[in-house]
Amino acid sequence: MRKVVNLPLHDGRCPRWLFERMVRLSGALLEIMVREMGPNAVLERLADPYWFQAFGCALGFDWHSSGLTTTVCGAVKEALRDRGADLGLFVCGGKGATARQTPDEIASWVEKQGLGLDAAALTEASRLAAKVDGAALQDGYQLYHHTFIFTAGGRWAVIQQGMNTATGWARRYHWLSTTCRDFVCEPHHAVCCDHRGRVLNLVAAESGPARRLITELAREAPEKTWRDCRRLEESALNLPARHGILPGDLTPRGLQQVLLRTYERQPEDFAALLGVEGLGPKALRALSLLAELAYGTPASFRDPVKYSFAHGGKDGHPYPVDRAAYDLSIDLLRRAAEAARLGHSEKLGVLRRLARRPTQDTGTAGLSLPSSCPAR
């Protein structure tokens, strides 16, 4: 049975000496995992929020360390920069401005390695995942991190994170290609956060009718939709408190220009609508409210959070990083990976026997959280 780990938020930074070791340890560990179970299985584990959290702990972060998501993804990207081609596992994107380089990095890997994959399709998956969590799922968390990981076989995973600047809470979004059957209907593999709230969730299953009507409204002549918006705004309706939307949200700046673009594009479905340039949270919120007030088609306000997690400061709990032990682990895994490359599997056999030893059941697929980690 899986457990929920409660992780308080603190401030802090990862020291350079630790990050360099995280790169070496994660690279050796991922290489062994790829050789043991294949890149697709590794991708599935990275997309699992519990395994990912435990992975960060194993790399030296306390269970409530600040920046675990961004630092672990950065370490993995650096570790696979030179060995990704050999392992068939590629990492793109990152924090802040680096996230915007994701399309170019995808195209570069596909072309440079001659993978024979559809780079445009992978880029579209990356773009839609970001657009869904940035606009269609309006939960108060502003995205600032986007990592896209894919295999030589074309499977992919997304790990992205948002921050609520008002509360200081973080929220992590996990995507996996094999469980994402529809980008705009329950697409997430998991959404993790410390706090649930009432949100505008246009990718909930029950928002299907709203998505269809919003798309139809976006295809109509802008003058008609704008006229309806003005009429509703002037009627001084008492909006339900649960919406968290004001009449002014019906007329956000630039809505007329957005409606003109959607009319010219004539998007065939909601996913295509999300791709329209300039269409952001305010425009979608306005169209969503119009769909409900004018046509009685409500959107969902169900928060999709399934698991709990948080980040905290680098404060030496449960104890300061033991550098000698850390370096010993790196050396052990490095030599095991080198032996595996030469065809000597007995080193990996030792690791397999260690992995079969009884450990605390945390549902982390082989990595255990510290026994003192608070759980419920």
- Both tokens of 96, joined, read 């802040």
Mean pLDDT by 10 residues, the chain (376 residues): 41 82 92 92 92 84 70 95 94 96 97 96 97 92 95 97 82 94 93 73 93 91 78 55 48 70 88 85 80 75 55 45 72 78 61 51 37 32
CA angle 207/293/260 to nearest 5° reads 80
Which residue carries 């306005």 as its tokens? 286
Report how far residue 316's alpha carbon sits from residue 326's, in angstroms, rounded to the nearest whole number.
14
Structure tokens at 344: 């000597």
Provide the pLDDT for residue 312: 29
Task: Kindly report the backbone phi and psi dihedral angles of residue 183, in degrees, each rounded to the nearest multiple of 5, phi listed first.
Answer: -65, -20
Where are the alpha helices (H) located in the chain, listed in sequence order? 16-37, 39-46, 49-58, 68-87, 102-113, 119-131, 208-219, 222-234, 255-265, 270-274, 281-295, 323-341, 346-355
Number of H helices, E strands in the chain: 13, 7
Distances (CA, A) of 150 to 153, 307, 358: 8, 24, 32
Q: What is the pLDDT of residue 316?
A: 53
CA Rg, the chain, in Å? 23
DSSP string spanning 227-251? HHHHHHHHTT----GGG---GGGGS
| Site of tokens 């994402």 | 180
Q: Could you tell me if 21 and 331 are in contact, meaning their C-beta atoms sit under 8 angstroms apart?
A: no
Pairing of strands 156-163, 170-176: antiparallel
Domain locations along the chain = 16-199+305-355, 205-295
**Kind of pairing between the strands at 200-201 and 142-151:** unpaired
Q: What is the pLDDT of residue 344?
A: 60
Distance of alpha carbon 129 from alpha carbon 180, whole angstroms: 10
Q: For residues 70 and 72, give the distance between their C-alpha atoms in angstroms, rounded to a whole number.
A: 6
pLDDT at 64: 55
Residue 295: name the closest of 210, 205, 174, 238 by CA.
210
Instruction: Report pLDDT for 144.
Output: 93
Q: Give pLDDT, residue 367.
A: 40
Residue 191 pairs in a beta bridge with 173
Classify strands 190-193 and 170-176 as parallel, antiparallel or unpaired: antiparallel
Backbone angle region of 365, left / alpha / beta, with phi > 0 → left and psi within -120 to 50 → alpha: left
